[in-house]
A and B are shown apart, each in its own frame.
Chain A
Amino acid sequence: MSTPTPALVCTDVHKSFGKLEVLKGIDLSVDEHEVICLIGASGSGKSTLLRCINLLERINSGSIEVGGQDITAPNVDVNQVRRGIGIVFQAFNLFPHMSVMGNVTLAPRKVMGLSRSQAEAEAVELLDRFGLADKRDESPDRLSGGQQQRVAIVRALATHPQLMLLDEVTSALDPELVAEVLNVIRELAEGGMTMLIATHEMGFARDIARRVCFLDEGVLLEQGPPEQIFSSPREERTQQFLQRIIEAGRM
């Protein structure tokens, strides 16, 4: 009986910025179609881990495999790797000098070599799916935060990634705009997208994640199904973290 290749395998990943060690040997495996939520305090290394997987940061040691390919090996075509991994940022990072359509079609045209008409046809389909069809010619700064973040998600999906990394995508949003973005993520999960989600939305994590991983000071301290992590965490640090979240009324 052969198990399928995991979508993502991190093995003993270390990352330091100067003297500060941010990731202290992360081991993490994500199966295809699996949705995993990373929780933990600010500075615990969630964002850094996502940025390392997208090769926006170079790891110091260890390895990261995506779809069976070691993407941290030398001589890897980073642009090729990044095409297969979508990342969405907390601050959206849309290109302000381009329309919504320009944002979404940039990578298909420049990276995948699609013609403008082909790229736009695909983009229209995606925008339509996420309720943004009428915003195609808008400039990003004329959209609400929730709309901007949905455009950012569509932009990341436009290169047909096999893996999506979401870095606290609702943290910069007004509370009433959070739901529309979470619904998009939910829909992606139902469609079978493999996702690694750093989030502070514990209710959402409990809802959507097959597995929840608790990061503490660069260490993956505890992982398990959401029911177990949220109701009977084994580690003291996890209990303390969740206690603080409950006290803050965020759960």
Chain B
Amino acid sequence: MLRGSNRPRRGSLLLPASAGNVWVALASTVVVFAGLTLIVVNSSGWPKVKHAFFDPAEFRAYFATVGHAFVLNIKIFLVAEVLILILALVLAVLRQLPGPVFFPIRLLAIGYTDLFRGIPTILLVYLFGFGIPTLQLAHVTNDPVYLGAAALVVVYTAYVSEVYRAGIESVHPSQEAAARSLGLTRGQTMRTVILPQAVRRVIPPLLNDFIGLQKDTALISVLGPVEALQRATLGASSEFNYTPYVVAAFFFVLITVPQARLTDLLIERDRKRQMAGGRV
């Protein structure tokens, strides 16, 4: 599940070593991108697409409205991320509980991750958003923002707990042996020795999952709340122009790209540290 670390390492490719390489990289980049642009711009449907998706006037008109609606996406994922970090850690630790007594707890934890990674996120958003209000439970909100966010928390907790678990299992058993040999209890060993190392290692894949979560806040639009995608949909249908969607996409890219770069940076840093620490 350490998906981030399995990717080919591109950090060094983004930073060519010598001056000669820089020119080659620049030239080939210009040629490739110019070629792609020419192909798109010269296609027969381009004028229509340009008008429907890339209308500068529409872009300006909807920049502020969609941007304002995007604040709701930000609020949702910020709150969701905090909850996910905590719940997923609890779930991962529960799954590591040893001994036959805790078998049912381990079983529940495994069942949870299997189930909620298996259900399509949008389906769970529907189930929560329309199912829970129908139950007419006392003291449970019917606000679609909360219900949709809850669905995201439930799904991503399953994913992130697997990330944590991979981190916990990547800490060598000799670390546990050393801690236990000093007289630390299992719980103390987990808290002071295993988890600090595990969490540090999983930060890149964790950020990866959070990028996914941030995009998936758009799924809540199916329940009605006016977040960025919903706002764009309203705009598109009143203007008969799809440019508001591009504005929404712009905002999602605006926040996810820096995180993707940060993730790569952290992976690269980890790799360097591991190579430097090759001496046991």
Binding site for B on A (CB under 8 A): 51, 54, 56, 79-80, 82-83, 85-87, 89, 91-97, 106-107, 110-111, 141, 145, 155-156, 159, 172
Contact = CB atoms under 8 A, between A and B. Distances in A.
A56 B182 contact: no
B200 interface: yes
B280 A92 contact: yes
A216 to B, nearest CB: 25
A159 B193 CA distance: 17
B177 interface: yes
Nearest to B196: A97
A79 to B, nearest CB: 5
Given A89-B177, A92-B280, A96-B277, 5 more contacts: A91-B174, A94-B178, A95-B179, A106-B193, A107-B183
A83 B182 CA distance: 6
Interface stretch (B31-39, B53-61, B157-165, B184-192): B184-192
B183 A79 contact: yes
Contacts of A110: 184, 188, 192
Interface string B244-280: 0000000000000000000000000000000011011
A172 B182 contact: no
B51 interface: no
B21 interface: no
B196 to A, nearest CB: 5
B121 interface: no
Contacts of B197: 95-97
Contacts of A93: 174-175, 177-178
B3 interface: no
A82 B276 CA distance: 34
A94 B277 CA distance: 13
A80 B184 CA distance: 9
Given A95-B193, A110-B188, A56 B180 contact: yes
Contacts of B279: 141, 145
B184 A89 contact: no
A107 B174 contact: no
A51 B177 CA distance: 9
B181 interface: yes
A80 B183 contact: yes
SS class, residues of chain B in contact with chain A = helix
A145 B280 contact: yes
A114 B183 CA distance: 14
A155 B175 contact: no
Contacts of B177: 51, 56, 89, 93
Contact of B182 (A51, A80, A91, A156): A156
B277 A89 contact: no
A178 B196 CA distance: 31
A111 B184 contact: yes
Contact of A107 (B184, B200, B276, B277): B184
Contact of B175 (A56, A87, A95, A172): A95
B184 A79 contact: yes
Interface in B79-115: none
Contacts of B200: 97
A171 to B, nearest CB: 12
B134 to A, nearest CB: 49
B181 A106 contact: no
B70 to A, nearest CB: 37
A86 B276 CA distance: 30
16 contacts: A54-B181, A56-B181, A79-B183, A86-B181, A92-B280, A95-B175, A95-B197, A106-B184, A106-B192, A107-B184, A141-B276, A141-B277, A141-B279, A155-B182, A156-B181, A159-B183
Contacts of A156: 181-182
A141 B188 CA distance: 23
A79 B175 contact: no
A145 B277 CA distance: 12
Closest CB pairs A-B (n = 9)? A93-B178, A107-B182, A83-B183, A111-B183, A82-B183, A141-B277, A79-B183, A93-B174, A87-B181
The interface centre, meaning the residue of B177, B183, B184 with most chain A CB atoms within 10 A of its CB, is B183
B182 A82 contact: yes
